[in-house]
Structure 1
Amino acid sequence: MMRLRKVIIIVLIPVIVWLITRYILRPSNARILRSHFARKRIAMIIAHPDDEAMFFGPTLNALRKLASETNPGSPELPETNLRLLCVSTGNADSLGEIRPGELRSSAAHFGIPPSNVIIFDDPRVQDQMGVKWPTDAIASLVGPYLTDVDVVITFDNGGVSGHGNHISLNDFAREFLLAQGETAPEVWVLKSTSILRKYISFLDIPYTYISNQFFHGSSRSERSLVVASDMREYANTRDAMTNAHKSQMRWFRWGWISLSRYMVVNDLHLL
């Protein structure tokens, strides 16, 4: 009898978590997604080609799905709907001539046309792991592309991987938000997690939903958003990485694709 109870508990807990996630938490996040992103002009700022697939794939899949709901029949995101601004060519390994083309190919997997992909090559903001970029240099590059946007999406102050270039984009976003004052667009940042959560793939989805809904308070939950990919969307993000960013496909990238929760779930927070 005791063993049977343990089996029932082991089976019941995941089922309850799944039901809560599927029927209570996901609809709430879908409402937040529509209210903040539907029919909005959006700029996603990344540091390097491949950031969009390695870190923001679930968000891009969700935005494409949202755009298709509001603009049925269109295979691509509307030209004014999403700009992908990449601050460097990713030239750390002298591949700066190849990687911009890979980024445009990857963007196509998410319905982003080449005209919406803007890639900068400036000596002040080159791909270097331990370096933080000057925010005024970032502003001079991306600023002209933000004058007509409603929403900006970028990294938080942990940069997901602690990469100095990623963190610099958060520094810029905070300065930009303050400088714009009441006319500023919404700025959403991708939350960094612990090393343990980073590599448990889809197992992190229920925890992410529940923690955002219940651990932050009701007012805070309106300022946070969870987007999770289904298997088809995960496969799309995987293909964007493996088929487009071929120059980056070293052995450890396969580990990231297989284990990283950022391939299947994003939680965004409003600054």
Structure 2
Amino acid sequence: MIYRSSTKMRARTFIIFLILAIALWVLTRKVFRPTNARVLSSHFAHKRIALIIAHPDDEAMFFGPTLNALHKLASEINGGDSALPDINLRILCLSTGNADNLGETRQAELRASAAKFGIPPTNVVIFDDPRVQDQMGLTWPSDAIAELAAPYLSDVDVVLTFDSKGVSGHGNHASLNKYAQEYLVNGEPDNQREVWTLSTVNVVRKYASFLDILVTYSYNQFFSDTTRSLVLVSDVHEYAVTRQAMTDAHKSQMRWFRWGWISLSRYMVVNDLKMLIKRD
């Protein structure tokens, strides 16, 4: 009898906590969204944008809130039209993700996932070069990335990619940041672009799901230059889009631990981006 009562109390406490957390999610979006909306519009509206990723599924696992925000911004610009002519968003994927010999399957999955975010297949470019193959501990050479990406960045204004820690510590991810710093921010003037990177957080925050939203907003407001930082939070519908991009498109990757990721990862609901600064 005592055991049942204790179990019911814990269940009731959990439900109350969950309701309060969801209410906080909604509240923080309403309080902080205007500032972030101004930064988003000033840097991304009417711009040609390239998201540079390392593997098929990076766009959904890590950048879902960003892609949803850009899709929504394009819709607002176009008066409700969900197409992306005013935000010409292109995905450059540096590998086919062929570590498990599923490269061909994963290429098709990436295009299907991109479509969930309103990005047509023609705007998805996937490379298969021996210098930049999918391998966990491998650091890709910046000059090889530059050679592959350059033809697709000549008409691009803004680039999105990983920060120096690559979210998961993946060497392939970190290589993209190194390339961006060397070639797009501090390189030759003709190659320079505005670059925004996805912030890496500690493991506790990484798996705190929407509970990390308030922490992210607070850190951005009080410890970041809000003109060069941006927090993008998905609503329930947008989270569902990102989740479907994983479960419906990236079917080959939906092993048991991926279900844990899409349920617990804060990157499914919140992205904080920082603009890379040119070195003096």
TM over 0.5: yes
Contact 1:88 1:125 in 2 (8 A): yes
Q: How far did 1:18 drift?
A: 6.1
Partner of residue 259 from structure 1, selected from 254, 264, 269: 264
Q: How far did 1:128 drift?
A: 0.1
Please say if 1:29 is aligned against 2:36. Answer: yes
Please say if 1:140 is aligned against 2:147. Answer: yes
Contact 1:88 1:120 in 2 (8 A): yes
Q: CA RMSD in A?
A: 2.0
Partner of residue 52 from structure 1, selected from 47, 51, 59: 59
* SS of corresponding position for 1:98: helix
Partner AA of 1:266 in structure 2: N
Unpaired stretches in structure 1, ≥5 consecutive residues: 1-9
The corresponding residue for 2:10 is none
Partner of residue 93 from structure 1, selected from 100, 109, 129: 100
Partner AA of 1:51 in structure 2: D
Contact 1:242 1:249 in 2 (8 A): yes
Q: Distance in 2 between matches of 1:15 and 1:166?
A: 31
Q: How far did 1:215 drift?
A: 1.8
How many residue pairs were aligned?
257
Partner of residue 273 from structure 2, selected from 232, 245, 268: 268
Distance 1:14 1:183, change over 3 A: same
Query: Normalising by structure 1, what TM-score?
Result: 0.90
Q: Distance in 2 between matches of 1:16 and 1:28?
A: 20
Contact 1:76 1:113 in 2 (8 A): no
Q: How far did 1:14 drift?
A: 7.1
The corresponding residue for 2:158 is 151
Q: Distance in 1 between matches of 2:72 and 2:26?
A: 23
Q: Distance in 1 between matches of 2:42 and 2:240?
A: 27
The corresponding residue for 1:114 is 121
Please say if 1:130 is aligned against 2:137. Answer: yes
Distance 1:73 1:27, change over 3 A: closer
Unpaired stretches in structure 2, ≥5 consecutive residues: 1-16
Distance 1:35 1:252, change over 3 A: same
The corresponding residue for 1:190 is 198
Query: Normalising by structure 2, what TM-score?
Result: 0.87
Partner AA of 2:274 in structure 1: H
* SS of corresponding position for 2:125: strand
